[in-house]
Amino acid sequence: MNKRQIYVAMLFSSLLSAMIAIGGYQLLNNQNDEFSSFEDRQNVRFSNFLDTTSVVVPEGLNFVYAAKAATPGVVHIRSKYTSTPTASNNQFDQYFQDFFGNRGQRAPSGASGSGVIIADNGYIVTNNHVVENASEVEVLMNDNRTFDAKVVGTDPTTDLALLKIDGKNLPFVKFGSSEHINVGEWVLAIGNPFEFRSTVTAGIVSATGRNINILRDPSNRNLQIESFIQTDAAVNPGNSGGALVNLRGELVGINTAIATHTGSYSGYSFAVPTTLVKKVMDDLKEFGVVQRALLGVNIVDVNAALAEARGLNVLKGISIENVNPNSGAADAGLEKGDVIIAVDGKGVDNVAKLQEKIAVKRPGDKVEVTYIRGGKESTVKVTLKSTSDSIEVVEARSSFSIEGSNFTDVSREEMQNLKIDGGAKATEVNDGKWKEAGVRAGFIITNIDKTTIRNIQDLARVMANKRGGTLIEGVYPDGTEAFYGIGW
């Protein structure tokens, strides 16, 4: 082929390409108005770019599965009150707005929160402050079914409560492991903020084992357990009691509080880890009361200042400030000044994490405590005891008798009417010290020597160690307050 023929072939090829381009343009241009919907047009136009109807999300960042798996098991809880809720000493009200606003300064007929179904036969976990002092509790399912709920038990020291509804084959959220959750891991918060049902927000785990000093122990024995998972998932009023799940849709925490000055989300939220949730729920179901196991020590975090002052060669761990007599720690030989660094072979670097490790146990359980004394590391087995220095589990009482008088728990209706947080009611006063002091049937004990009495469990525990003069405070059903001094 000579040069002339090559030039002709190239010219012909160029003309043919131009004709094809112009024809294609005219074809596409003529189709601009020839489609039945924008969606159809888009599907045709981009058919060469995607061969699937879903965009692939990088592994570990797909929130869709977790949301679909967990949302059906998260419920909306409506708490109703027959009268104005009592003014509360709960620090949620002061610093975190209790997720309901300030209940002690207004008179709502109801309040709302969230809950998580944890068993297909109707057991639901939520926060204690969601149902505290409520006369009625209603549960609204994700599929719009409603149920009346029974409060099986509550635990203010972890701010958890167990509810029960009559249902079968209900969707539930599977427990995950909060022990293995990592800082930086993605999580979803699911609940009902501002009455917006089934709302899902995403964030990362900002910290674990966080103590923010908001929980309370009604018995004034500092038994509250705080070891929160801190996240930056958006949580607002109404999310309280809802689910914090991992990307497998497994429950790793119960959303409980937010750090805020306004009452709305300001950057951080806090959830009770499932290690505590599972234990507290099992206790409330089996015993009706939480089995609180104790080492029997007063402790503080080790920091640089403490380490320098005591000549410690460690900058983390938990320093024992006092060992209670007859406690498991005393029996095992732990001493003031020992620095605990591990429990059952797992490191603990602050008080919150140590409390969490112990809180999942029951009285009578044994744990291995690793500690440093005089620069030497040692490990000892400690048998945990209850608040009454016993290794026996505590049974929920229906009544309690002492010195010729019988007591029972106060009903929710009485608590609402009298604006009290609980108490032990004298149902029968016979010959004995109570009668001699002037106590009459119907008297409700609310405090003994400034220690709050919420139920007969508290009364039995406090009276077990009372000696000498005792100040009894309380109220009668007609609202009359009374004070009695009794010697033991």
Return the bridge partners of 485, or none.
471
Q: Give the Cα separation of 464 and 299 in Å (integer).
A: 25
Q: Which of 99-108, 434-443, 474-483 has the lowest mean pLDDT?
A: 99-108
Cα 260 to its chain centre, rounded Å, is: 18
- Contact criterion met (CB below 8 Å) for 188 and 63: yes
Model confidence at 264: pLDDT above 80 = no
| 129 is annotated as an active-site residue | yes
Q: Which helix (H) or strand (E) holds 276?
A: helix 274-287
Cα 149 to its chain centre, rounded Å, is: 19
| Residue ranges with strand state E in 333-443 | 339-343, 346-347, 366-373, 376-383, 400-402, 405-409, 424-429
| 98 is annotated as an active-site residue | no
Q: Return phi, psi of residue 41, to 5°.
A: -60, -45
Model confidence at 487: pLDDT above 80 = yes
Q: Give the Cα separation of 314 and 12 in Å (integer).
A: 86
Query: Per the residue annotation, which of 93, 98, 159, 458 is the catalytic one?
Result: 159
What is the model's pLDDT at position 105?
Answer: 38
What is the model's pLDDT at position 346?
Answer: 92
The confidence band for 93, taking pLDDT boundaries of 50, 70 and 90, is very low
Q: Which of 85-94, 145-154, 356-365, 460-469 has the lowest mean pLDDT?
A: 85-94
| Residue ranges with strand state E in 54-93 | 74-80
- Contact criterion met (CB below 8 Å) for 405 and 426: yes
For the chain, the straight-line distance linking the first and the last C-alpha, in angstroms and rounded, comes to 125
**3-state SS assignment for residue 91:** helix
Model confidence at 88: pLDDT above 60 = no
Q: Which conformational region is residue 164 in: left (phi greater than 0), alpha (psi within -120 to 50 degrees), or beta?
A: beta
Model confidence at 282: pLDDT above 60 = yes
DSSP letters, 155-181, are ETTTTEEEEE---SS---PPB--STT-
| Residue 25, C-beta contacts closer than 8 angstroms, at least 6 positions apart | none
- β-bridge pairing 400-402 and 243-245: unpaired
Average pLDDT over residues 291-309: 91
Model confidence at 87: pLDDT above 90 = no
Higher pLDDT, 67 or 96: 67
Higher pLDDT, 319 or 91: 319
Query: Per the residue annotation, which of 240, 269, 319, 386 is the catalytic one?
Result: 240
Q: What is the pLDDT of residues 340-388, one digit of tens each?
A: 999 999 999 899 999 999 999 999 999 999 999 988 999 999 999 988 7
Average pLDDT over residues 164-192: 93
Model confidence at 321: pLDDT above 90 = yes
* Residue 93: other Cβ atoms inside 10 A: 19
What is the model's pLDDT at position 114?
Answer: 96
The confidence band for 222, taking pLDDT boundaries of 50, 70 and 90, is low
Q: What is the pLDDT of residues 48-79, one digit of tens each?
A: 433 443 445 566 577 999 999 999 999 999 99
Q: Which amino acid is at 184?
A: G
Question: Which two three-digit tokens encode residue 444?
Answer: 């409700």
Q: Which helix (H) or strand (E) holds 357?
A: helix 351-359
The confidence band for 165, taking pLDDT boundaries of 50, 70 and 90, is very high
Using alpha carbons, select from 160, 206, 166, 154 the residue that is nearest to residue 183.
Answer: 206
Q: Give the Cα separation of 121 and 475 in Å (integer).
A: 39
Q: Is the four-CA dihedral 243, 271, 135, 359 of positive or negative sign?
A: positive
Q: Give the Cα separation of 142 and 370 in Å (integer).
A: 47
- Contact criterion met (CB below 8 Å) for 211 and 257: no
Average pLDDT over residues 71-97: 62
Q: Which of 77-81, 108-112, 391-395, 465-469 has the lowest mean pLDDT?
A: 108-112
Average pLDDT over residues 312-327: 90
Q: What is the DSSP letter of 260?
A: -
Return the bridge partners of 207, or none.
230
Average pLDDT, rounded, for the chain: 82
Model confidence at 171: pLDDT above 80 = yes
Higher pLDDT, 308 or 31: 308
Query: Per the residue annotation, which of 79, 98, 114, 129 is the catalytic one?
Result: 129
Q: Give the Cα separation of 442 and 435 in Å (integer).
A: 12
Model confidence at 229: pLDDT above 90 = yes
Average pLDDT over residues 421-431: 89
What is the model's pLDDT at position 85?
Answer: 42
Using alpha carbons, select from 256, 212, 207 the residue that is nearest to residue 236.
Answer: 256
What is the model's pLDDT at position 59?
Answer: 63
**3-state SS assignment for residue 154:** strand
Average pLDDT over residues 180-185: 92
| 388 is annotated as an active-site residue | no
Question: Which two three-digit tokens encode residue 193?
Answer: 């903020």
Q: Which of 78-82, 302-306, 383-387, 460-464 has the lowest mean pLDDT?
A: 460-464
| pLDDT above 90: percentage of residues in the chain | 48
Q: Which helix (H) or strand (E) holds 41?
A: helix 38-45
The confidence band for 183, taking pLDDT boundaries of 50, 70 and 90, is very high
Average pLDDT over residues 396-414: 82
Question: Which two three-digit tokens encode residue 83?
Answer: 């009268």
Higher pLDDT, 271 or 412: 271
